[in-house]
């Protein structure tokens, strides 16, 4: 399924908002939408909607799948500090590319992350960072193995794997079932993918689905076991009626 031989083959690219990302030759895909911009995408599809929807909580646990260059984790810290929020945050971030993590202290992040240099260095060296407000742990290894071992309730899931087409095992019904088991009843999943397979995998695990639209960004998806007050859920019954062959991805199709 994975091509470990090609894991180190990556190219740096500059995205629309000026922030840098990588292109993975193994997955044949960039780490971020080059059109939406790496930093802009991270803030507008994951961090801002998630923190706004969970704003009532004094403490949140975030599952950042997968850490990659760490934009989602870093943008979370950046947003919280910029808005003087006092939320206590714990982040668990699966990632199997150790060489990438070890190289992050040398990566050129946007200026907005300059104040996070000590965090980046600690994560790159120790896979761990902690201060009085934030605790971050990179879970080195396959997310399909590390997620079922998580014992804590998760408030926010940043579902930011490569696309369902290129990395289907991180979008199957069984994978979303593992996430559903640890997701708090009022927790949320944010994802850039609005594909039918994504919606079906989340819906078949009992999640309500909502489109989210931010300025200058393509729409994204929010999923939650609960209703989100004032938001219109996607009518999945109608969608399925109109497209009866739509189907979630299944582990068996990829690993037998």
Ligand X SMILES: C[S@@+](CC[C@H](N)C(=O)[O-])C[C@H]1O[C@@H](n2cnc3c(N)ncnc32)[C@H](O)[C@@H]1O
Is 69 an interacting residue with respect to ligand X (CB under 6 A)?
Answer: yes
The mark string for 213-242 relative to ligand X (x by CB under 6 A, - otherwise) is: ------------------------------
Among 15, 72, 172, 191, binds ligand X (CB under 6 A): 72
Question: Strand ranges (DSSP E) for the chain?
Answer: 10-14, 20-24, 29-30, 59-65, 88-95, 128-130, 134-140, 154-159, 183-191, 208-212, 220-224
In the chain, the largest separation of any two C-alpha atoms, in whole Å, equals 52
**How far, in Å, CA of 10 to CA of 103, rounded?**
12
Is 79 an interacting residue with respect to ligand X (CB under 6 A)?
Answer: no
Among 97, 172, 200, 224, binds ligand X (CB under 6 A): 97
Judged by CB under 6 A, the stretch of 12-20, 48-56, 142-150, 220-228 that binds ligand X is 142-150
- CB of 35 or CB of 239, closer to ligand X: 35
- CB of 95 or CB of 155, closer to ligand X: 95
Is 101 in contact with 127 (CB distance < 8 Å)? yes
Q: Which uninterrupted H or E stretch holds 40? A: helix 38-41
Judged by CB under 6 A, the stretch of 91-99, 103-111, 190-198, 209-217 that binds ligand X is 91-99
Q: Give the 3-state DSSP-derived string for 64-98, with helices as H, strands as E and coil as C.
A: EECCCCCHHHHHHHHHHHHCCCCCEEEEEEEECCH
Number of residues lying near ligand X (CB under 6 A): 21
Among 33, 45, 71, 175, binds ligand X (CB under 6 A): 71
The SS3 call for residue 133 is coil
Name the one residue in this structure whose structure tokens are 């708090």. Answer: 184
Is 95 an interacting residue with respect to ligand X (CB under 6 A)?
Answer: yes
- The residues that touch ligand X, with contacts defined as CB under 6 A, are 31, 42, 66, 68-72, 94-97, 100, 142-144, 160-162, 167, 170
């Amino acid at each position: 399924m994975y091509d470990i031989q090609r894991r180190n083959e990556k190219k740096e690219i500059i995205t629309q908002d000026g922030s840098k990302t990588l292109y993975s030759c193994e997955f044949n895909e960039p780490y971020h939408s080059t059109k939406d911009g790496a930093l802009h995408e991270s803030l507008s599809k994951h961090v801002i909607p998630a923190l706004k929807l969970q704003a009532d909580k004094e403490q949140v646990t975030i599952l950042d799948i997968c850490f990659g260059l760490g934009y989602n984790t870093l943008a979370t810290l950046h947003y919280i500090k910029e808005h003087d929020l006092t939320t206590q945050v714990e982040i668990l971030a699966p990632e199997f590319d150790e060489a990438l993590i070890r190289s992050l202290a040398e990566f050129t992040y946007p200026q907005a992350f300059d104040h996070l240099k000590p965090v980046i260095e600690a994560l790159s060296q120790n896979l761990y960072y902690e201060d009085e407000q934030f605790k971050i742990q990179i879970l080195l290894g396959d997310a399909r193995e590390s997620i079922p071992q998580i014992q804590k309730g998760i408030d926010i899931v940043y579902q930011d794997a490569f696309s369902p087409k290129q990395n289907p095992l991180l979008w199957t019904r069984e994978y979303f079932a593992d996430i559903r088991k640890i997701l708090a009843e009022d927790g949320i999943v944010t994802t850039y993918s609005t594909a039918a397979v994504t919606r079906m995998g989340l819906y078949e695990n009992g999640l309500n689905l909502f489109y989210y639209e931010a300025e200058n960004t393509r729409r994204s998806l929010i999923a939650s076991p609960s209703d989100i007050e004032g938001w219109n859920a996607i009518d999945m019954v109608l969608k399925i009626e109109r497209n009866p062959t739509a189907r979630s991805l299944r582990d068996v199709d990829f690993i037998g």
